[in-house]
Amino acid sequence: MTAGSPSVGLAAKILSAYVARNSVSVGSLPDLLCEVHRSITALGAAPQAPARRATEAQILASIQPESLISFEDGKPYKTLRRHLTIRGLTPETYKAKWGLPMDYPMVSAAYSARRSTISREIGHSQRMRMAQAAE
């Protein structure tokens, strides 16, 4: 803390206004001045980005039968791939960013089951057409 800096002057003004209305022991004034100065300088500093790690409970809550809840915007999606692509993320970078396990699903269970059923039906009807064509 340098004596000529504007933050020191501001801290001194704040402290003098506080001391004028409150009783403060003389011994605690230097510590109080340092604390006020530290608070003022912290206001000008860039905020630190919060750690982006999902807890185990959040991970489990994000996996629902009908949808997956995105950690990016908190909205439900049947599949996360398109949502992540729009945001410039790959599934691997998304998992690394939020601390998700490597086996975290990118497609909801219900959507996956529905797509699987449709695939089987298409495959079954193709086999039937091929069998009829062979006759």
> CATH code at 69?
1.10.10.1550
How many residues are present in the chain?
135
Quote the pLDDT of residue 37: 86
Number of Cβ within 10 Å of residue 36's Cβ equals: 19
- Does residue 72 share a domain with residue 119? yes
Q: Is residue 109 within 8 Å of 65, Cβ to Cβ?
A: yes
- Does residue 70 share a domain with residue 15? no
Quote the pLDDT of residue 105: 96
Task: Give strand ranges (E) for 1-135.
Answer: 68-69, 76-77
- Does residue 85 share a domain with residue 23? no
Q: Is residue 61 part of a domain?
A: yes
Helix axes 6-21, 29-44, angle to 10 degrees: 130
- Does residue 121 share a domain with residue 79? yes
How many domains does the chain fold into? 2
Maximum CA extent, the chain: 105
Quote the pLDDT of residue 7: 80
Q: Is residue 70 within 8 Å of 81, Cβ to Cβ?
A: no
- Does residue 79 share a domain with residue 33? no
Question: Which parts of the chain sit beneath pLDDT 50?
Answer: none
Quote the pLDDT of residue 3: 58
Domain that holds residue 65: 56-134
